Amino acid sequence: MRLLIVTGSMGAGKTTALGEASDLLAQREFVHAALDFDGLAIGRFPANMNRREMAIANLVSIWRNFREAGTTALLLAAAVETRTELDQLRSVVRPDETVCCRLRASIATMEARVRVREPGNPPAAFRQAGARSRRGARRGGDRRFLGRQ
C-alpha cells in the first residue's frame, strides 16, 4: 500500500498537482484513488464540531471503500503542517510507503490563484500561511516529517 501526500499552503497548487498525478497514473492503468482532504469537510457545522476531525472520519469511511474495492495507492492533497497531522493521515491509510511532496509558491502567486477560486478570501490569510510555511522550512520542518518513510 502506498500513500502520496501533496501538501503546501493555500493556493500552492495541491489540487492541480493531485489531478495531474492521478491522470498520469490512470493513463498507465495504475489502480489508485485521489482525494482532496479539505473537500472532505466542507459545510457549516455546529460550533463544537472540529472540521479536521470530520475530515478524518470521512477519510476513514472513504478509504475503507476504496481499499475493499482493491485500491492499493492513495494520492491525497492535504495541508500538512506538523508530524502529528502526517501521522494522523498515515494511521487511517496504514501504508507500507509514504511519500510527501510539499509545493511552494510565492505569496503573490498564491494570492492570485485563490482570488480567482475564492473571491471573498482576505489577502492577509495568504501572508500568514506563507509566513508559517517559510518559518517551518527555516527550522527544518520539512526534513522532520516530509519525505520517504
**What residues does each domain of the chain span?**
2-145
Supply the mean pLDDT for the chain: 83
Cα dihedral value 45, 37, 93, 91, nearest 10:
-60
pLDDT at 124: 57
Is the whole model's pTM more than 0.85, yes or no?
A: no
CATH architecture of 2-145: 3-Layer(aba) Sandwich (3.40)
- The dihedral built from the CA positions of residue 126, 131, 134 and 137, taken in this order, carries a sign that is negative
In this predicted structure, which of 70-79, 99-108, 134-143 has the lowest mean pLDDT? 134-143
pLDDT for residue 85 is more than 50: yes
* Residues pairing with 3 in the sheet: 74, 98
Average pLDDT on 15-41 reads 95
